[in-house]
Amino acid sequence: MVEAWIVTGYGINCDLETEFAFKLAGARTRRVHVNELLSSELGCDILFFPGGFSYGDELGAGKVLANKLTGIMDELVDFVRAGGLIGGHCNGAQVLVKAGLVPALEGYGRQEVTLARNLSNRYEDRWVHVRPVSRKCVWTRGLPLMELPVAHGEGRFFSRDPRMVEKLQRRDQIALVYVRPDGSPARVYPHNPNGSVGDIAGICDPTGRVFAQMPHPERALSWTNHPNWTSRRRESWEGDGLGMFKNVVSFARENL
């Protein structure tokens, strides 16, 4: 059975919802405290970093936990090379980006991009539309346009390299982009909630198995999670966010 570990501890506060999402997707789950993660061998197929405010964002969103991961970077890289999957949303995405696990264009462990303060200069807490665009990312490929919640103050994808978006496009590592409700490019606020270059909402590593995104799919597991659910008719009880978890659990079941 697919084993998913969900990291918890020190300000992480979306671990229970994320664990529930993996259970719904058919995985066996375990919440693992960050201290255990840093001091023991990885015994899972999927490792996930949920949202929240790890270590209080004292040095910037996700930076402290990212720094701590440098102590087990070799183990994490070996885990990925052996076929393991790593994911993170919101604060977890900030951790993966700042630890250099994504996009890893020049190898793991070197930070190449960042998630900076929103251009709106405010905490954005609402629902947005996103569209999967990568054929490589196993977490998102094959999924339709989705409406998911965001809840962050620092989610603006940015790089000092003016050609970064072009590089990610060429390597098929842009997993999700913000769009308008009709699926057309977001381009401007509020459809792009944070000002990310290229409307980028999520990226993956070169393998397509390490994935970081700002939206919160674990808050959209049922169609009744949506604030307007009573005015909508659905053929299924499933919310838009569950598909990502089902995708990755199915991939792990078939390949690990």
3-class secondary structure, 250 = helix
Set 14, 19, 44, 90: catalytic member: 90
Set 89, 129, 216, 226: catalytic member: 216
Q: 33-56: b or e for each residue (b if 16 or more CB lie within 10 Å)?
A: ebeebeeeebebbbbbbbbbbbbe
| Rg of the chain (C-alpha set) | 17
Q: Tell me whether residue 90 is one of the annotated catalytic residues.
A: yes
Sign of CA dihedral 216, 179, 212, 135: positive
H/E element, 92? helix 91-99
Q: For the chain, what's the residue count?
A: 256
Set 14, 89, 218, 226: catalytic member: 218
- Which residues are part of the catalytic machinery? 90, 216, 218
